[in-house]
Each structure stands twice: as structure tokens, then as C-alpha cells.
A = this chain, B = another copy of it.
Amino acid sequence: MKNKIVRIKDIAEKAKVSTGTVDRVLHKRGRVSKKVEEKILKIIEEMDYEPNLMARALGSNKIYQIAALIPDHKSDSYWYAPKAGIEKAEKDLKQYGIVVQQYVFDPYDVESFIKNASQLTKDNPDGIILSPIFYRETLPFFEKWKVAEIPFVLFNTQITEYEPLSYIGQDSYQSGFLAGKLIHYGQPEPCSVLIAHIDEEISNAAHLLKKEQGFRNYFSQNNLEHQYKILRIELNRANAALFITQLDAVIDSTPDMASIFVTTSKAYEIARHLEQRHIKHIKIIGYDLLPQNLYFLNKGAISFLINQNPKGQGYWGIYQLTDHLVFKKEVPIIKYLPLDIVTKENVNYYKDDEDTVYLDI
């Protein structure tokens, strides 16, 4: 009942030492005799001491430089949201001494990535957040950061070598699985279904393959293989004519195609094309709430979007780093964000208004 807040001073009194000694124990700064250390630790345990985070942040009066290595949203608007999330987090956490320096690279240019990553490394920040979209080129930097003991957080794309402080993103496999369910639920009759990978070099994009695999497994695990024929296609918008030709080819040669699952955020490209051809019976499921996708979602051309919450990913990344750096909290190694099913009727609550605050129970 009467749980008064325990302060360092209280611990010190009880242990009959000074606050300085307690502090040393709390921060493992050494220079404390084993005997005393043990006694203090025991008392801390007993009294259930919890540091006052505000006093801590105030007293240490430190500035933490966090580096954000992110793709340029001018090259791919998907990256606008993580950037926004990062900036929101910076604003919220400024009071704890968090400062974020952005290093923006061109997602279609490896050199640009390397250049920025090098500069970042030279600047020696206290923490790093990045989306490691270039697998091979990222590894050497991980190595360096490990050596320099700079914690780094990954978002959007997961790389398991050189264990990061934390990964924030979705379970790609499960999201594909979920897409399978949504298509199956809306299409109980036998039909053909198309998986469309758009705009990514599939060989280098492990998460797209995972999505595909999850999707396929939904049908196989539910013994639906004989009812659903699953096709796949890789498209690239760089060559618009080819894009259309290839898409038309598969559509025209598959009269019973009922649904298309787009594994990237480019579902709107398919929707637009189907609209131009006045095809209405093909349902589309895609990812992410880009304005273009929302347009077709509201028109009914896209049935569902799975929200990867890119803004939340950015926000969370900074948040986790802050927890680690400022509050010395333990941070979950993997933070899977929910697989939000977004449709015309609930999209309003996922669209991002500036005031949304991320909470986490």
C-alpha cells in the first residue's frame, strides 16, 4: 500500500554508504568493493528500486546523436512514411536529448548507399537506424559498427547476420499467408490467382519471396491446391510498354483469374491498368497506404491493403534506440508490427494524421 518511491538516497541510507557508491553500482562503473556491491544490489532488489527516468535524463544532460540511413523518398514514395515516423519520434524524444541526423541515399544506386554509410560511420553516432536494402553492401558496415559498439536498428528489411539491436517490421511470410486467406475468403470458388512482384529485383529481395511463400503455403496447408491455380509474374515499371504487354499477356491467357496479389506497394499500377481495360471482376490485394493505393481502394478497385505501417517502423526504430541509449532498457530483438487489414471501410483509422501517437502496451 504505502509504496513510496525509492530513491538512490534511500538505498544509500539503508546500505550505510553514500549515493556515489550506489551510483557506481547502478552503472557498473567499478571501484566498489565486492562486499558492498553485493549488499547494495541486494537492497536494490529488495526495495524494488526503479530509477526516475526524468531525473536521470535531466541530470545526465547528454545529447545522443542518432544516424538514420534511409532511402530517398523522391525515388520511391514508399520511403516517405518511415522518414515521417523518424522525424515524429525525434520531435517527441528531443526532450530526452535525442538528435537525429538523416543520411539519405538513392535506393536505386548502390554507390550512393555506400557513400552515405561511410560518411555516417565517420561521424560516429551513438546509434543507427537503417533499412538495409542492399544486402551485400551493408554487411561490412555492420562489421564496423559492431566493432565500434554502435547499436543499430533495422527496419523494413531483416538481416540476421550481425545481430542488430532490434528489427522492426513485419513478418513477411505471415503477411503472404494472410493475403492468401483474404483471397480465399472472398473467392471460395476454384479460380486462378496471380502473384505480382513489381519493381524489385526479386533475387535480391528476400522478403518478397517470403511473402510469396507464405501466400502459396496458405493454399497448400489448407488443401486448396487443386482448387486454386497460382501464377506469378515479375514486372518492372522502368519499361512501361513491356510492363503492359506482360501484364496483358497473363490476364488474357487466364480467363478464370479472379485475384491478384501484389507483393510490393505498387498495387495501384495493376489497378490502374485494369481500370483502363474496364476489367472489374479481378480483386486486388496489395500493401501499404500510398495515396495512389488509397485512391483505388476507395474506388473499390483494390479490395484490401495490408498496412506495413512504415511510419510506425521509423518511429519505433528511434524509440527503441532511445530506450536503449537513454533509459538503458532492454529492447526486443524483433518487433513485429501487426498485419493490419485495411479496406475502404476502415481506412480512415489507419491513415496518418499528424497527431497520431504511437502507443505500446
Nearest to A218 among chain B residues (CB) is B345
Contacts of A319 in B (CB 8 A): 359
Q: Considering the chains assembled together, what is the distance between the CA atoms of A312 and B361 in angstroms? A: 7
Given A58-B58, A338-B349, A360 and B361 touching (CB < 8 A)? no
Number of copies: 2
Of B55, B96, B350, B352, the residue contacting A58 (CB under 8 A) is B55
- A291-320: contact bitstring with B at CB < 8 Å (1 yes, 0 no)? 000000000000100000001100110010
What 0/1 readout, one digit per residue, does chain A (44-80) give for beta carbons within 8 Å of chain B?
0000001011110110000000000000000000000
Q: Which residue of B lies closest to A357 (CB)?
A: B360
Q: Is the CB of A337 within 8 A of B349?
A: yes
Closest to A171 in B: B349
Interface centre among A85, A174, A341 (most CB of B within 10 A): A341
* Cα–Cα distance between A303 and B182 once the two chains are bound (Å): 11
- Interface residue total, chain A, C-beta cutoff 8 A: 53
Is A181 an interface residue when CB atoms closer than 8 A count as contact? yes
Quick check: is A269 within 8 A (CB to CB) of the other chain?
no
Q: Which of B218, B303, B345 contacts A174 (CB 8 A)?
A: B345
CB neighbors of B among A244-263 (8 A)? none
Interface centre among A5, A178, A185, A316 (most CB of B within 10 A): A185
A358 in contact with B361 given A55-B58, A346-B174, A349-B338 (CB within 8 Å):
yes
Residue of B nearest to A330 (CB): B355
Q: Contact between B356 and A360 (Cβ–Cβ < 8 Å)? A: yes
Interface residues of A in 16-64 (CB under 8 A from B): 50, 52-55, 57-58
The 4 tightest CB contacts between A and B, nearest first, are: A357-B360, A358-B359, A338-B349, A54-B54
- Enumerate chain A interface residues (CB-CB to B < 8 A): 5, 50, 52-55, 57-58, 84-85, 88-89, 94-96, 171, 174, 177-178, 180-181, 185-186, 188, 218, 303, 311-312, 315-316, 319, 332, 336-341, 343-346, 348-350, 352, 355-361
